[in-house]
Structure 1
């Protein structure tokens, strides 16, 4: 395993092509099993060039203005998927035209900034590669809560800032996607046109819907997640793997358990498991909110959460205000459990020396929530081209592989690895699994859908009124 120029692990078989043979749409790292494969690739490119140049000469698009060198660099790999409609304002254009427009732009990416390894990966590998390959400057704007970016977009549009907004891209969650989409403040559809979107399984309901709301290509996926619960085997040999057994454990071990207070994302996700069990399962919760059903069924959820509250950390008088605070409590040994939506997060924390080496993770026997995380582009972004190039790069095998490495981040791939060339599949298969990370066969079982956004907000308000304030 080697380090890239940015210091992030890529692979043992990465080759950097000469400058005159770069692939502008995919990056300049090409997986080759040997020199013979390299030769076949170059021969294939040579045979393909006359066809591509003929197509370029007959097309009537802004791409005609590309230099001869740029035209020769085009490969099928950087082209939009066959039949994909160009995004708004780019009708009759090619992906190469979007790249050309993006060069020299700065993309302001508003995103949650609460985890150092994620920030380091964004400002290192992603920013450096984006600059080197596309001359795009990445400016990460870290947030405590994604709603800060949503409010900025809402405020700017209300003030008449329709084309020169501050936000070019958002790492967005389901609730905020729903808010901006309902207000018609997201640019799109665009993600169907990204060349690397061919690696995405758009038929997967966990990809084509976000908190029950159709994505419709107004978001681009860049990672997947599954909630796991971390514990220290030095303090707890066998964790409680059902809701009922966890309730009994909490009552038998006062002060050693808590969870982040909703509307913290992790806290809301965690209590959703209790509410699913108390109300009879997730299948009944459709996108359309049913106020009568909510009033009839959710009190059973408040009852369970109130039952354990006196036995929580600080007797349930206060809750951790964030996932980061929950992590600190576990790291310091004040509580015996942490919970996270990244199955590899505990391993990353062990590697960083923050969590004990005896940390392991588990999921409930009945399943835990699984989701996809996305990026979206506000309608008033002034640098939509750069944002789309960034979204496409995040879906590239290079970025997804680097992101999946626990030494960089450990985030699960948003792409379907089986769709990649065999060389890349082998690289993903060879990635080391962290000491606290569950095997894929366990993580792929009993994946529960998230509560639709239309139910999520009432649940958060209901928790505040019926649990926190009681």
Structure 2
């Protein structure tokens, strides 16, 4: 707390005492107590706090779900104010936290961050996250399979309680069935489709998250499958040579892409706009229910459908975490716990809200809670949850991502 007026010691003492009452988690000792207090105490400390959640803000559906479904319920049920702060890229969140760490800023502006993958590893390696908090959350303990590989690890990096699962994602291709009645089922078939339909396909320029995921699928299918990459990149001899079939495939596609591959959409949002206007006949998503949501809102045509590859598509879990210098750690814990509740997860599943797969273990839900999820209408554009699950393949560990994204710039974008 900075004071710019000369005050007597008595007044200063009263001022500091008042600050402590307003923010019970402002010092390290009180913050640590949140990890051992019973949940009722945490909830009481959270009441009246304003919680800033920093997250990618590029999806209208996601933004509306936070603003119109989550935030009002947090305010009504817990007297916690949730303030969504949109960011253009998740990397911007990490960069800001790195700056705050360097400046020794102990009272930060972020209380919750939406994170996974390479950003989680960077945050963890640089001590940008608070302590192991997820084990304190009742909904984490009651409804999450904590030993599941995609819960215990995030892109190969052990989670160790530093983040709590918010939802699951799986890559799907999105197409207009009127333009491609029998969509490709392999990267080889996709190349054939692209060549037969020039200008109808593209993918977002890396480092866009979805564009990067598309390239990782190419890696798996052109170099012999995902199994070999379930170890650190440093353990693969001559990795650069092993990646060459991926670059060859992507470069062979370029002449047949939208605008002949001279440029790529800068983001998935831009790509989806091309699909919505019929300029391209296929897009992609790491959210298998998003297409149904776009149909509901009239942006995508009624003939929109999704498909996966026979060899499978990437699946992962996305998480919520608390930065090291959050000013409202109790409020952040309560907010994250509520966003993991069966009610919030069921609402999140609906294409009318967000359309995002649940992070909860269905076997841990009551019969009524399971029925509520089963009753959610996912829309004709969404594959069955069974088909999605049968075609899930694991993500690469985070150390590959930077290599691939840098390699794409050098071997594809500059070619």
TM-score of the superposed pair, with normalisation by structure 1: 0.80
Contact 1:211–1:450 (Cα < 8 Å) also in 2? yes
Number of the residue aligned with 2:111: 168
Secondary structure of the residue aligned to 2:76 is helix
Deviations 1:76-114 (A, max 9, x none): xxxxxxxxxx98443541111111111111111001111
1:21-64: CA deviations, max 9, x gaps?
A: xxxxxxxxxxxxxxxxxxxxxxxxxxxxxxxxxxxxxxxxxxxx
Aligned counterpart, 2:151: 207
User: How far apart, in 1, do the equivalents of 2:293 and 2:355 lie?
Assistant: 7
- Alignment partner, residue 121 of structure 1: 65
Partner of 1:452: 397
Aligned partners of 2:116 and 2:317 also within 8 Å: no
SS of 1:262's partner is coil
1:357 to 293, 298, 302: 302
1:92/1:119 CA distance change after superposition, 3 Å: closer
Q: Take 1:209 and 1:178, find their aligned partners in 2: how far apart are those partners?
A: 10
**Are 1:468 and 2:413 matched, yes or no?**
yes
Give the aligned partner of residue 317 of structure 1: 262
Cα distance in 2, alignment partners of residues 463 and 159 from structure 1 = 34
Q: What is the aligned counterpart of 2:271 among 326, 339, 348?
A: 326
SS at match of 1:222: strand
Give secondary structure in 2 for the equivalent of 1:444.
helix
Query: Which residue matches 2:206?
Result: 262
Instruction: Work out the CA distance in 2 between the residues paired with 1:160 and 1:430.
Output: 49
Any conservation in 2 of the 1:228–1:368 contact (CA below 8 Å)?
Answer: yes
1:94 matches 2:38: yes
Q: 2:316 aligns with which of 371, 394, 403?
A: 371
Taking the aligned partners of 1:177 and 1:125, their CA distance within structure 2 comes to: 26
Partner of 2:26: none
Q: How far, CA to CA, are the matches of 1:110 and 1:159 in structure 2?
A: 19
* Aligned residue in 2 for 1:21: none
Q: Is the 8 A contact 1:87 1:193 kept in 2?
A: no
Tell me which residue corresponds to 2:4: none
Counterpart secondary structure, 2:84: strand
> Which residue of 2 is the match for residue 187 of structure 1?
130
Correspondence for 2:386 = 441
User: Any conservation in 1 of the 2:134–2:162 contact (CA below 8 Å)?
Assistant: yes
**Residue 195 and residue 310 in structure 1: after superposition, are their counterparts in 2 closer, same or farther (change >3 A)?**
same
- Find the aligned partners of 1:443 and 1:302 in 2 and give their Cα distance: 28
Say whether residues 1:396 and 2:338 are aligned partners.
no
Which whole-Å CA distance do the structure 2 matches of 1:411 and 1:97 have between them? 31
2:99 alignment counterpart: 155
Higher relative contact order (CA 8 A, sep 6+): 2
CA distance in 1, matches of 2:239, 2:31: 39
Q: Please say if residues 345 and 358 of structure 2, whose CA atoms lie closer than 8 Å, have aligned partners that are also in contact.
A: yes
Indicate yes or no: 2:79 matched with 1:135.
yes
State the SS of the aligned residue for 2:238. helix
1:306 maps to 2:251: yes
1:5 aligned residue: none
Gaps of 5+ in 2: 1-29
Q: Is the 8 A contact 1:88 1:189 kept in 2?
A: no
Q: How big is the shift at 1:440?
A: 1.1
Distance 2:342 2:326 in 1: 27
| Stretch deviating more after TM superposition (88-97 or 377-386) | 88-97
Number of residue pairs matched? 384
List structure 1 segments (4+ residues) > 6 angstroms apart after TM superposition: none
Aligned: 1:231 with 2:231: no
Aligned pairs for 1:265-304 (under 5 A) are 265-290=209-234, 292-304=237-249
CA contact (8 A) 1:112 1:146 kept: yes
2:128 & 2:385 partners in 1: Cα distance? 37
Secondary structure (helix, strand or coil) at the match of 1:108 reads strand
**CA spacing shift, 1:334–1:91, aligned 2, 3 Å:** closer
Structure-2 residue corresponding to 1:178: 121
Compared CA separation, residues 191 and 91, structure 1 to 2 (3 A): closer
Aligned counterpart, 2:16: none
Q: Is the 8 A contact 2:31 2:329 kept in 1?
A: no
Alignment correspondent of 1:216? 160
After TM superposition, give the deviation of residue 310 of structure 1 in Å: 1.1
Between the aligned partners of 1:446 and 1:364, the Cα distance in structure 2 is 8
Q: 1:92 to 1:120 in 2, by over 3 A?
A: closer
Q: Write the distance in 2 (CA, Å) between the matches of 1:287 and 1:377.
A: 28
RMSD: 1.3
Structure 2 SS opposite 1:259: coil
Q: Is the 8 A contact 1:257 1:313 kept in 2?
A: yes
